[in-house]
């Protein structure tokens, strides 16, 4: 269900940004990301408990269950949209010669995706602490789910500030958007299906850790390959002949 919701919210965020900025590119990127997420959701195994058991007390509050979970999962959608835009930017930089205007547009929307992720991650983490205080009697306890939500938040805040003060340009922002997504994957999937520890045991499950590991590793390798190709293009000196106007070349 969360993967389907991420697909939906990725498309919603892209649509809103397209309506605000009147750029078709972000709508197309959002559609591609949403399609990829829906394909992934279709391939995931359906794991349902054959025994119908009562809900644990902490889940019996529809208000907190709805507002906290939807906010956190929506933040994953913002990160997913930024991840898709980052990969698209890397592909263009590594294998093509995109116009400067196109790169600026992609970087702008990647930055907006990161902002959405940070805003909703911060709100969702705070709401989760509020719910924890209501249910468990403490706001924060360094539970693995809480800890990784905080790690993901800090991970996404770093490139935002680096971009704001000028330390990171378009290429660096694309790399950060792709690599930072690993923190969301760990918070979203890793804590529940790999660590399997903490007070959030009602969300634990099993299956697919190696597929996620290899997918993450391939994504990192892709970033390395794209970075090498891009840096090689940047460092290749431009021939003097290419810079001479045609009128002078005929003299």
> The pTM is what?
0.82
DSSP 8-class letter at 57: G
Within-domain flag for 193? yes
Q: CA triplet 109, 97, 81: central angle to 5 degrees? A: 25
Within-domain flag for 51? no
For residue 96, give its domain range. 2-44+60-249
Within-domain flag for 91? yes
Q: What local confidence, expressed as pLDDT, does residue 178 receive?
A: 95
Within-domain flag for 49? no
Virtual CA dihedral for 15, 79, 67, 54, nearest 10 degrees?
A: 120
- Total of domains in the chain: 1
Over residues 39-88, the pLDDT tens digits come to 887 776 655 555 555 555 555 566 777 888 899 999 999 999 999 999 99
Are residues 114 and 177 in contact, defined by beta-carbon separation less than 8 angstroms?
yes
Of 251, 143, 121, 249, nearest to 204 (Cα)? 143
């Amino acid at each position: 269900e969360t993967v389907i919701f991420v697909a939906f919210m990725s498309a919603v965020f892209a649509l809103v940004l397209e309506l605000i900025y009147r750029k078709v590119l972000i709508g197309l990127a959002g559609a591609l990301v949403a399609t990829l997420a829906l394909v992934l959701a279709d391939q995931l195994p359906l794991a349902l408990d054959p025994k119908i058991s009562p809900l644990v007390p902490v889940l019996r509050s529809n208000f907190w269950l709805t507002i906290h979970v939807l906010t956190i999962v929506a933040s994953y959608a913002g990160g997913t949209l930024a991840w898709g835009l980052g990969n698209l930017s890397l592909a263009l930089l590594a294998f093509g010669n995109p116009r400067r205007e196109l790169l600026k547009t992609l970087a702008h929307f990647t930055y907006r995706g990161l902002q959405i992720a940070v805003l909703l991650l911060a709100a969702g983490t705070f709401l989760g602490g509020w719910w924890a205080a209501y249910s468990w009697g403490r706001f924060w306890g360094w539970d693995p789910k809480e800890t990784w939500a905080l790690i993901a938040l800090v991970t996404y805040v770093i490139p935002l500030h680096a971009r704001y003060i000028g330390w990171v340009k378009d290429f660096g922002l694309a790399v950060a958007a792709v690599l930072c997504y690993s923190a969301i994957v760990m918070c979203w999937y890793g804590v529940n299906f790999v660590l399997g520890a903490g007070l959030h045991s009602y969300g634990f499950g099993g299956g697919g850790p190696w597929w996620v590991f290899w997918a993450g590793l391939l994504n990192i390798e892709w970033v390395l390959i794209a970075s090498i190709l891009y840096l090689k293009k940047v460092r290749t000196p431009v021939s003097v002949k290419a810079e001479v106007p045609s009128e002078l070349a005929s003299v």
